[in-house]
A and B are shown apart, each in its own frame.
Chain A
Amino acid sequence: AQSVAQPEDQVNVAEGNPLTVKCTYSVSGNPYLFWYVQYPNRGLQFLLKYITGDNLVKGSYGFEAEFNKSQTSFHLKKPSALVSDSALYFCAVRDGGSYIPTFGRGTSLIVHP
Protein backbone atom coordinates (compact mmCIF):
# COMPACT_ATOMS: atom_id res chain seq x y z
CA ALA A 1 0.00 0.00 0.00
CA GLN A 2 1.13 3.55 -0.61
CA SER A 3 -0.05 6.85 0.79
CA VAL A 4 1.07 10.45 0.97
CA ALA A 5 0.17 13.28 3.32
CA GLN A 6 0.47 17.02 2.91
CA PRO A 7 -0.25 18.27 6.42
CA GLU A 8 -0.76 21.92 5.48
CA ASP A 9 -3.71 23.05 3.39
CA GLN A 10 -2.10 26.46 2.98
CA VAL A 11 1.34 27.99 3.40
CA ASN A 12 1.87 31.73 3.53
CA VAL A 13 5.28 33.30 2.99
CA ALA A 14 6.62 36.74 2.21
CA GLU A 15 8.36 37.34 -1.08
CA GLY A 16 12.11 36.86 -0.74
CA ASN A 17 11.80 34.52 2.24
CA PRO A 18 12.55 30.81 2.06
CA LEU A 19 9.60 28.49 1.64
CA THR A 20 8.91 24.89 2.61
CA VAL A 21 5.94 22.76 1.60
CA LYS A 22 5.75 19.54 3.57
CA CYS A 23 5.11 16.01 2.37
CA THR A 24 5.32 12.67 4.15
CA TYR A 25 4.77 9.27 2.59
CA SER A 26 4.26 5.61 3.31
CA VAL A 27 5.19 2.75 1.00
CA SER A 28 5.96 -0.91 1.42
CA GLY A 29 9.01 -0.84 -0.84
CA ASN A 30 11.32 1.80 -2.24
CA PRO A 31 9.56 5.09 -2.95
CA TYR A 32 9.49 7.15 -6.08
CA LEU A 33 8.51 10.69 -5.12
CA PHE A 34 7.27 13.60 -7.21
CA TRP A 35 6.28 17.23 -6.85
CA TYR A 36 3.86 18.92 -9.23
CA VAL A 37 2.55 22.49 -9.37
CA GLN A 38 -0.87 23.60 -10.57
CA TYR A 39 -1.54 27.17 -11.59
CA PRO A 40 -5.17 28.39 -11.74
CA ASN A 41 -7.23 26.72 -14.46
CA ARG A 42 -4.25 24.70 -15.63
CA GLY A 43 -3.21 21.08 -15.43
CA LEU A 44 -0.42 19.91 -13.17
CA GLN A 45 3.17 20.58 -14.18
CA PHE A 46 6.07 18.38 -13.14
CA LEU A 47 8.65 20.06 -10.87
CA LEU A 48 11.02 17.31 -9.73
CA LYS A 49 11.32 13.70 -8.70
CA TYR A 50 13.36 11.43 -6.48
CA ILE A 51 14.28 7.98 -7.68
CA THR A 52 17.49 7.07 -5.93
CA GLY A 53 20.85 8.57 -5.13
CA ASP A 54 21.38 12.07 -3.77
CA ASN A 55 18.85 13.03 -1.15
CA LEU A 56 18.68 16.61 -2.42
CA VAL A 57 16.88 16.85 -5.73
CA LYS A 58 16.89 20.01 -7.81
CA GLY A 59 14.05 20.86 -10.16
CA SER A 60 12.40 23.55 -12.21
CA TYR A 61 12.00 27.23 -11.25
CA GLY A 62 14.63 27.03 -8.50
CA PHE A 63 12.76 24.46 -6.43
CA GLU A 64 14.45 21.60 -4.63
CA ALA A 65 13.32 18.80 -2.38
CA GLU A 66 15.04 16.77 0.27
CA PHE A 67 14.40 13.06 0.62
CA ASN A 68 14.61 11.87 4.23
CA LYS A 69 14.20 8.12 4.53
CA SER A 70 14.19 7.98 8.33
CA GLN A 71 11.44 10.60 8.56
CA THR A 72 9.69 9.36 5.39
CA SER A 73 9.50 12.92 4.15
CA PHE A 74 10.06 14.73 0.88
CA HIS A 75 9.65 18.43 1.62
CA LEU A 76 9.70 20.96 -1.19
CA LYS A 77 11.89 24.02 -0.69
CA LYS A 78 12.99 27.22 -2.34
CA PRO A 79 15.54 29.66 -0.90
CA SER A 80 13.73 32.83 -2.00
CA ALA A 81 10.01 32.87 -2.81
CA LEU A 82 8.47 34.83 -5.66
CA VAL A 83 4.90 36.09 -5.90
CA SER A 84 4.65 34.08 -9.11
CA ASP A 85 5.28 30.89 -7.09
CA SER A 86 1.77 31.22 -5.67
CA ALA A 87 -0.03 28.07 -6.79
CA LEU A 88 -1.27 24.67 -5.64
CA TYR A 89 1.46 22.11 -5.00
CA PHE A 90 0.98 18.36 -5.05
CA CYS A 91 3.25 15.66 -3.71
CA ALA A 92 2.93 12.16 -5.18
CA VAL A 93 4.41 8.79 -4.29
CA ARG A 94 4.74 5.57 -6.22
CA ASP A 95 5.85 2.31 -4.72
CA GLY A 96 8.43 0.63 -6.93
CA GLY A 97 5.99 -2.20 -7.59
CA SER A 98 3.08 0.03 -8.60
CA TYR A 99 2.30 1.76 -11.89
CA ILE A 100 -0.05 4.33 -10.40
CA PRO A 101 1.10 7.22 -8.20
CA THR A 102 -0.91 8.40 -5.23
CA PHE A 103 -1.31 12.15 -4.90
CA GLY A 104 -1.63 14.25 -1.78
CA ARG A 105 -4.54 16.65 -1.28
CA GLY A 106 -2.40 19.60 -2.30
CA THR A 107 -1.02 22.63 -0.48
CA SER A 108 -1.91 26.13 -1.54
CA LEU A 109 1.17 28.34 -1.47
CA ILE A 110 0.54 32.05 -1.17
CA VAL A 111 3.50 34.39 -1.53
CA HIS A 112 2.80 37.92 -0.33
CA PRO A 113 4.55 40.90 -1.93
Chain B
Amino acid sequence: GAGVSQSPSNKVTEKGKDVELRCDPISGHTALYWYRQSLGQGLEFLIYFQGNSAPDKSGLPSDRFSAERTGGSVSTLTIQRTQQEDSAVYLCASSLSTGTLPYEQYFGPGTRLTVT
Protein backbone atom coordinates (compact mmCIF):
# COMPACT_ATOMS: atom_id res chain seq x y z
CA GLY B 1 0.00 0.00 0.00
CA ALA B 2 0.93 3.65 -0.23
CA GLY B 3 3.31 4.97 2.36
CA VAL B 4 3.71 8.44 3.79
CA SER B 5 4.31 11.01 1.10
CA GLN B 6 5.75 14.49 1.41
CA SER B 7 5.96 17.40 -0.98
CA PRO B 8 7.96 19.07 -2.25
CA SER B 9 11.00 16.83 -2.01
CA ASN B 10 13.28 19.85 -2.23
CA LYS B 11 12.60 23.51 -1.56
CA VAL B 12 15.00 26.40 -1.98
CA THR B 13 13.78 29.72 -0.68
CA GLU B 14 15.14 33.14 0.09
CA LYS B 15 15.54 34.32 3.63
CA GLY B 16 12.39 36.03 4.83
CA LYS B 17 9.99 34.14 2.58
CA ASP B 18 7.24 31.82 3.86
CA VAL B 19 7.19 28.12 2.97
CA GLU B 20 4.61 25.35 3.23
CA LEU B 21 5.51 21.69 3.50
CA ARG B 22 2.91 19.01 2.96
CA CYS B 23 2.49 15.53 4.41
CA ASP B 24 0.06 12.81 3.35
CA PRO B 25 -0.01 10.10 6.03
CA ILE B 26 -0.95 6.48 5.59
CA SER B 27 -4.70 6.06 5.39
CA GLY B 28 -6.15 5.12 8.75
CA HIS B 29 -3.22 6.42 10.77
CA THR B 30 -4.58 8.84 13.31
CA ALA B 31 -1.24 9.95 14.77
CA LEU B 32 1.00 12.29 12.80
CA TYR B 33 4.37 13.74 13.74
CA TRP B 34 6.68 16.37 12.27
CA TYR B 35 10.42 16.23 12.89
CA ARG B 36 13.40 18.27 11.77
CA GLN B 37 16.65 16.54 10.92
CA SER B 38 19.82 18.57 10.77
CA LEU B 39 23.20 17.15 9.87
CA GLY B 40 24.63 15.35 12.87
CA GLN B 41 21.78 16.46 15.12
CA GLY B 42 19.43 13.52 14.98
CA LEU B 43 15.68 14.04 14.89
CA GLU B 44 14.16 17.06 16.58
CA PHE B 45 10.48 16.70 17.44
CA LEU B 46 8.32 19.58 16.25
CA ILE B 47 4.61 18.80 16.59
CA TYR B 48 2.25 15.87 17.14
CA PHE B 49 -1.36 15.40 16.05
CA GLN B 50 -3.65 12.69 17.39
CA GLY B 51 -7.11 12.41 15.86
CA ASN B 52 -9.24 15.42 16.69
CA SER B 53 -7.34 16.29 19.85
CA ALA B 54 -5.45 19.54 20.25
CA PRO B 55 -1.94 19.10 18.83
CA ASP B 56 1.15 18.91 21.00
CA LYS B 57 3.16 21.93 19.82
CA SER B 58 5.83 21.67 22.49
CA GLY B 59 8.65 21.10 20.00
CA LEU B 60 8.06 24.09 17.73
CA PRO B 61 11.22 26.21 17.95
CA SER B 62 9.56 29.60 17.48
CA ASP B 63 6.24 31.25 16.65
CA ARG B 64 7.34 31.37 13.02
CA PHE B 65 6.50 27.66 12.86
CA SER B 66 2.93 26.39 12.70
CA ALA B 67 1.13 23.31 11.46
CA GLU B 68 -2.36 22.16 10.80
CA ARG B 69 -4.00 18.91 9.95
CA THR B 70 -7.19 18.98 7.94
CA GLY B 71 -9.85 16.31 8.21
CA GLY B 72 -7.58 14.15 10.31
CA SER B 73 -5.44 13.40 7.27
CA VAL B 74 -3.19 15.76 5.32
CA SER B 75 -0.92 18.04 7.32
CA THR B 76 0.85 21.25 6.37
CA LEU B 77 3.87 22.67 8.19
CA THR B 78 4.30 26.40 7.61
CA ILE B 79 7.45 28.35 8.32
CA GLN B 80 7.08 32.11 8.15
CA ARG B 81 9.92 34.56 7.52
CA THR B 82 12.41 31.76 6.98
CA GLN B 83 15.91 32.06 8.40
CA GLN B 84 19.08 30.29 7.32
CA GLU B 85 19.03 28.19 10.50
CA ASP B 86 15.73 26.70 9.29
CA SER B 87 17.64 24.82 6.59
CA ALA B 88 17.18 21.12 7.32
CA VAL B 89 15.28 18.04 6.24
CA TYR B 90 11.72 18.05 7.52
CA LEU B 91 10.32 14.57 8.13
CA CYS B 92 6.73 13.56 8.62
CA ALA B 93 5.70 10.29 10.24
CA SER B 94 2.39 8.63 10.94
CA SER B 95 1.27 5.73 13.07
CA LEU B 96 -1.83 4.00 14.29
CA SER B 97 -3.37 5.58 17.35
CA THR B 98 -0.79 5.54 20.10
CA GLY B 99 -2.95 5.45 23.19
CA THR B 100 -1.06 3.16 25.50
CA LEU B 101 0.21 0.94 22.70
CA PRO B 102 3.65 1.70 21.21
CA TYR B 103 2.94 1.49 17.51
CA GLU B 104 5.92 2.11 15.27
CA GLN B 105 6.12 5.17 13.09
CA TYR B 106 6.15 5.22 9.30
CA PHE B 107 8.24 8.02 7.86
CA GLY B 108 7.98 9.94 4.64
CA PRO B 109 11.04 10.65 2.48
CA GLY B 110 11.32 14.19 3.82
CA THR B 111 11.48 17.69 2.40
CA ARG B 112 14.94 19.21 2.13
CA LEU B 113 14.61 22.92 2.85
CA THR B 114 17.43 25.28 1.93
CA VAL B 115 17.19 28.92 2.92
CA THR B 116 19.57 31.18 0.99
Partners in one complex: yes
CA–CA, A108 and B93, complex, Å: 21
| Cβ contact within 8 Å between A43 and B42 | no
- Name the residue among A41, A49, A100, A106 with the largest chain B CB count within 10 angstroms: A100
Number of interface residues of B (CB under 8 A): 25
Please report which residues of chain A, range 78-94, place their CB below 8 angstroms from some CB of chain B when the two chains form the complex.
90, 94
CA–CA, A106 and B43, complex, Å: 9
Partner-binding segment picked from B14-22, B66-74, B80-88, B96-104: B96-104
Total inter-chain residue pairs, C-beta < 8 Å: 53
Q: How large is the interface on A (under 10, 10 to 19, 20 to 34, 35 or more residues)?
A: 20 to 34
The answer, yes or no, to whether B65 is at the interface (CB within 8 Å) is no
A28 → chain B closest CB, angstroms: 16
| Cβ contact within 8 Å between A105 and B109 | no
Contacts of B56 in A (CB 8 A): 99-100
Binding site for A on B (CB under 8 A): 4, 31, 33, 35, 40-43, 45, 48, 50, 56, 59, 91, 93, 98, 100, 102, 104-110
- Can you pick out 14 interface pairs between chain A and chain B where the beta carbons lie within 8 Å of each other? A34-B105, A41-B109, A43-B107, A43-B110, A44-B91, A44-B105, A45-B107, A99-B48, A99-B56, A100-B45, A100-B59, A101-B105, A104-B42, A105-B42
